[in-house]
Each structure stands twice: as C-alpha cells, then as structure tokens.
Amino acid sequence: MTAPTNQQLIDFVVAEAALLDELRFDEWLALFTDDGHYWMPLTHGQTDPRLQASLLYEDKLLLQVRIERLHGVRTFSQQPTSRCHHLLQQPVVSARDDTAGIYTCRTAFHYTEARRDAQTLYAGWATHSLVRQDDGQDNGLRMRLKRVDLVNCDAAFGSIQLFM
C-alpha cells in the first residue's frame, strides 16, 4: 500500500467535515478505527483523557449510541433536527510516519450548530490522528483519534447535539 500524499490527508479531513455537515453520521463513524476515539478536552493543553475530566471522550461504541439517539423518533431534542456547518482553515499535515502508516493533521475551524431560532458558534482546532489500514476501501485512511480543542473549552456549555 502506497503512502498517502499530503493532499490526500488534507482531502480526508475536509471530506470528514462534509460528512458531518450533511448529517451522514453512519458514514462518518465508519472513518474511525475499531479502537478509535473522539475527544474534546476540558482544559487547554490537556494530555490525558483518562486521568483528567474531558468534555467528551467517546470510543466507537459510544459514538454509535449517540448516532442512534440522533436518529431516534423519540429524541425530542432533535425535533426539528439540528444542523451544523464547519468552516475550516487549510488543514496542515503536522506529522507523518510513512513506515508506520501514522499521520497527524491539525485544522483551525469555526463550527456552527443551529436548531430552530438558536445558533451557537464554536471555534477551535481539530487534530486528526490518522492511520493507514489495508481494508480494501478508498485510500485506507482511518481516524484513530479526533481531538477537538475549543478556544473556550473551560466555559459553561449548553447541550452540544452534534459532532464537531
């Protein structure tokens, strides 16, 4: 399997955000490795999601549960459905190990979540820890970790309904 180019890594990050904006959560979940995690630290510079409290630290199973809740007919917080939009800066490939098939991309973003008359803006940085897997699908890239660092991570938040 050939190593992905920097442009392919960047395209992966952009396509991942588009899946979220289009509410294609099942396809988004398929981008994670089986041991993948989605992490939103509670403090700036947080280094360990297990020994420190986080806003979110979810494995693939917990993400699946959240997605099923979003699709549920009795999920009244999603009637009408929330919508979202990612505005990304150009992702930067910050690390690559072609031998091990491990890559890291960092992307500054503005994220808007809207439902009815309420619209909430978040800003921060997403770090994608990607691995190359020979699974016969597209470019073989999968997320082992998506870390979302919010500028105001230590603020009081209402419900964040979707995924950033």
CATH of the domain at 130: 3.10.450.50
Task: Say whether pLDDT at 137 is over 70.
Answer: no
When divided into structural domains, the chain yields a total of: 1
Q: How confident is the model at residue 138 (pLDDT cuts 50, 70, 90)?
A: low
Is 61 among the domain residues? Answer: yes
Distance CA 87, CA 151 (A): 15
Contact criterion met (CB below 8 Å) for 123 and 111: yes
DSSP state of 155: S
Whole-number Å distance between alpha carbons of 69 and 51: 28
Confirm whether 164 is domain-assigned.
no
| Rounded mean pLDDT, 92-120 | 95
CB-based contacts of 118, cutoff 8 Å, min separation 6? none
Average pLDDT over residues 78-102: 92
**Residue 89 domain flag:** yes
Alpha helix positions (H), the chain: 6-21, 25-29, 60-71
Place of tokens 């890291």: 104
Residue 142: the pLDDT is 97
**pLDDT tops 80 at residue 62:** yes
Model pLDDT, residue 160: 86
Which positions ≥6 away from 69 have C-beta within 8 Å? 75
Beta-carbon-side half-sphere exposure of residue 110 (alpha carbons within 13 Å): 5
- End-to-end CA separation in angstroms for the chain: 30
Q: Is residue 58 part of a domain?
A: yes
pLDDT at 55: 94
pLDDT of amino acid 74: 74
The pTM of the full predicted model, rounded to 2 decimals, is: 0.93
* Average pLDDT of span 103-119: 94
Determine which of 23-27, 100-104, 152-156 has the lowest per-residue pLDDT on average.
Answer: 152-156
What pLDDT is recorded for position 2? Answer: 86
**Mean pLDDT of all residues in 67-73:** 84
E strand or H helix at 124, and its extent? strand 118-132
Whether 1 maps to a domain, the answer reads no
Please report whether residue 25 resides in a domain.
yes
- Return the biggest CA–CA distance within the chain: 49
Q: What digits encode the pLDDT tens for the residues 25-57? A: 999 999 999 999 999 999 999 999 999 999 999
- Asked if residue 40 belongs to a domain, the reply is yes
- State which residues form the domain around 60: 6-150
Residue 158 lies in a domain: no
Please, what is the average pLDDT of the chain?
A: 92
